[in-house]
Structure 1
Amino acid sequence: MTEPLRPFRKLPNVVALGGGHGLAASLSALRRLTDRLTAVVTVADDGGSSGRLRDEFDCLPPGDLRMALAALCGDNHDGRAWADVLQYRFGGEGDLSGHSMGNLLIAGLWQQLGDPVAGLAMVGELLGIRGRVLPMSLSPLTIEADVVGLDPQRPDELATLVGQATVAKTRGGVQQVRLVPGRPTACLDAVGAVREADHVVLGPGSWFTSVIPHLLVPELAEAIIESSAQRILVLNIAPADETAGFSPARHLEALADHAPRLRLDVVLADEQFADSDPHLSAYATSLGARLVVADVAMRDGSPRHDPLRLASAFADVIGL
């Protein structure tokens, strides 16, 4: 007698929003759970290679998009090889010094195709990525921040910092961030992906320059707020740079300050960071979320998520 066939279980449809190394960490974990994965990436970077290409060609900054593509590369030899090529950075002191190969490839495809989404899809095909990568907006954006504590003689004086690279490295206390232009148009593909998702993941990453900006794009923020998906917020392993000295609950407070209508379902925190703040569970509850504490940190002591441990935590939260 043959055994009955098990019912087919559809893989979850997951959208992860963020930028830089934080988003790459989420993608490296989530790709182990599903192929139905969309990365929505911030487009406000103005430093390094991305800033130079943005200034020269008036294009989206490609760096964070490149990192997301590399994180989703195919598991075969060709996929990994092309991911290494994408991440290669030129040395020396010439005009190409500091540029990554992937940034140049992406910017060149955008010049040729005139379509950022199509250009990213073409690179995705080259890498055999699991999922897709989209910008949060089709226009490059600028981050402005109101900061206190820059002048030791006037610690309460409010100053304005301009540019993602500047804000991300500030040692002042960031009070609020905004995007310029103030109500940017969202990438419609990204909005559609959020509306169709089963799970939406925010963070980890630079809080004011990679995570919160998604909530400052009106159409995208509305899609996140109205979504029937499970909304999962992943906290960083430890505060750093623009959130130096922040408790875990203060991270949630900053998010709520910028998106008062946002409600969460899960706040996922590393056990050591969570244990440092007795108020975290109560604050998570105030946002509608349950707190999930897990051991998700790298073992080398660096403030990074371990992809395998994070994948295990995501699997528990998603219900796989």
Structure 2
Amino acid sequence: MSKPKIVVIGGGTGIPVILNSLRRENVDLTAIVTVADDGGSSGRLRSAVNIAPPGDLRNVLIAMSDMPRFYADILQYRFDEADGPLAGHPLGNLIIAAVGEMQGSTYKAIQTLSRFFHIEGNIYPSSDSPLTLHAVFKDGHEVAGESHIADYVGIIDHVYLTETETGNAPIASKNVVKSIMEADTIVLGPGSLFTSILPNIVIPEICDALLKTKAKIVYVCNIMTQRGETEHFTDADHVRVLHEHIGASIIDTVLVNIEKVPESYMNTNKFDEYLVQVEHNFKGLKNENVTVVSNNLLKLRDGGAFHDGEAVAREIIAISHRQEVKI
């Protein structure tokens, strides 16, 4: 049997967890990673060097590599706050920025570093240009910049992207559309709905490819709601928002965690953006015309609630090996 082709789309800290587990399976793996981050080290570098922000790409490079833990720790090393212009920059971000400047492209830099770190699979930034994420709220107010969205008190209606430098509509990176069209299974998330997942799929070419692909599309629903984004959202609300942005009901299967996060477990000082556990609305999910796979997908560590990468990977592999094909 040929390896199932699995494409994972997202960003932030969510998708590295499942990519690290999926890379150990007998699959042809591709990651498509958001480039709309404008905060922290990534934001400072994209302004200084005019490159796509490297932070999410760095995390994916590490997750998909079999490099020793010590090497990963070097790439993740963050300069001390007393280090002047270098303060707060992870070393890996600086390396990606340097190679990107050498080769004139973040896309080329990631392909070079993928070979350098012996990655089996593909990593593509969703666009080769830095993008600005715009959030339009229900009251009509608009906020530009991913790092500012959670600061406005309101309910997000929709998001869209522009190229930061030109203001034009974003263009997908090379091979992104091709990988979506050739995939057997496409995984959305896990990750922040409005700032990690949607910044990929609202790129017009990616949205169009998701509408046309014959691949099974799986959404890994978040475990916790997120301040300024998905407050009071159920799992069905997450799926509804994705379908509204895409313009059609394309998700075939939703993975939902049914294990309870212990009361008062979350370290609210460390994870202050996360609020409460996402509630289930199985009737709402049925109305979205999706198949629901519910299981214990929870992993508690470091005072936070995360997806168990191995458990999620097992479900994705099982879905990928099912024989039904879209018509």
Normalising TM by the smaller chain, what interval?
0.7 to 0.9
SS in 2 for 1:201: strand
Answer yes or no: is 1:16 the counterpart of 2:8. yes
- Shift in alpha-carbon separation, 1:298–1:171, aligned structure 2, 3 A: farther
Aligned residue among 220, 225, 241 for 1:234 = 220
Answer yes or no: is 1:97 the counterpart of 2:87. yes
SS in 1 for 2:31: strand
- Shift in alpha-carbon separation, 1:169–1:236, aligned structure 2, 3 A: farther
Instruction: Answer yes or no: is the 8 Å Cα contact 1:252–1:283 preserved in 2.
Output: no
SS in 2 for 1:223: helix
Counterpart code for 2:213:
S
TM-superposed CA distance for 1:275, in Å, is 8.9
- Shift in alpha-carbon separation, 1:272–1:249, aligned structure 2, 3 A: farther
Aligned residue among 167, 177, 194 for 2:149 = 167
Match of 1:298 in 2: 299
CA-to-partner distance for each residue in 1:56-96, whole Å, 9 max, x for gaps? 1111001111111111111x53xx43322221111132110
CA–CA separation in structure 1 for the residues paired with 2:18 and 2:154: 28
Counterpart code for 2:145:
G
CA-to-partner distance for each residue in 1:228-249, whole Å, 9 max, x for gaps? 1111111001211211221111
Instruction: Answer yes or no: is the 8 Å Cα contact 2:100–2:106 preserved in 1.
Output: yes
TM-superposed CA distance for 1:253, in Å, is 1.5
Structure showing greater Rg: 1
SS in 2 for 1:61: coil
Aligned residue among 70, 74, 84 for 1:81 = 70
Cα RMSD of the aligned pairs, angstroms, is 2.1
SS in 2 for 1:188: coil
More helix by share: 1
TM-superposed CA distance for 1:272, in Å, is 4.1
CA–CA separation in structure 2 for the residues paired with 1:285 and 1:182: 37
Match of 1:153 in 2: none
Instruction: Answer yes or no: is the 8 Å Cα contact 2:236–2:288 preserved in 1.
Output: no
Counterpart code for 2:52:
L
CA–CA separation in structure 2 for the residues paired with 1:146 and 1:275: 23
More strand by share: 2
TM-score (norm 2): 0.85
CA–CA separation in structure 1 for the residues paired with 2:206 and 2:156: 23
Match of 1:151 in 2: none
Match of 1:214 in 2: 200
1:171-182 equivalences in 2 (<5 Å): 171-180=153-162, 181=167
Aligned residue among 20, 42, 45 for 1:28 = 20
Answer yes or no: is 1:128 the counterpart of 2:118. yes
TM-superposed CA distance for 1:289, in Å, is 2.1
CA–CA separation in structure 1 for the residues paired with 2:202 and 2:59: 22
CA–CA separation in structure 1 for the residues paired with 2:93 and 2:313: 28
Instruction: Answer yes or no: is the 8 Å Cα contact 1:31–1:37 preserved in 2.
Output: yes
TM-superposed CA distance for 1:217, in Å, is 0.8
CA–CA separation in structure 2 for the residues paired with 1:234 and 1:169: 26
Q: Provide the aligned length of Structure 1 versus Structure 2.
A: 299
Question: Structure 1 runs of 4+ off > 3 angstroms?
Answer: 168-171, 272-276, 282-288
Q: Which runs of 5+ in 1 are unaligned?
A: 1-8, 149-156
Q: Which runs of 5+ in 2 are unaligned?
A: 261-276, 323-327
CA–CA separation in structure 2 for the residues paired with 1:182 and 1:287: 32
CA–CA separation in structure 2 for the residues paired with 1:25 and 1:38: 14
TM-superposed CA distance for 1:171, in Å, is 4.7
CA-to-partner distance for each residue in 1:118-157, whole Å, 9 max, x for gaps? 2102211222223121111111110111235xxxxxxxx4
SS in 1 for 2:13: helix
TM-score (norm 1): 0.87
Percent identity of equivalent pairs = 35
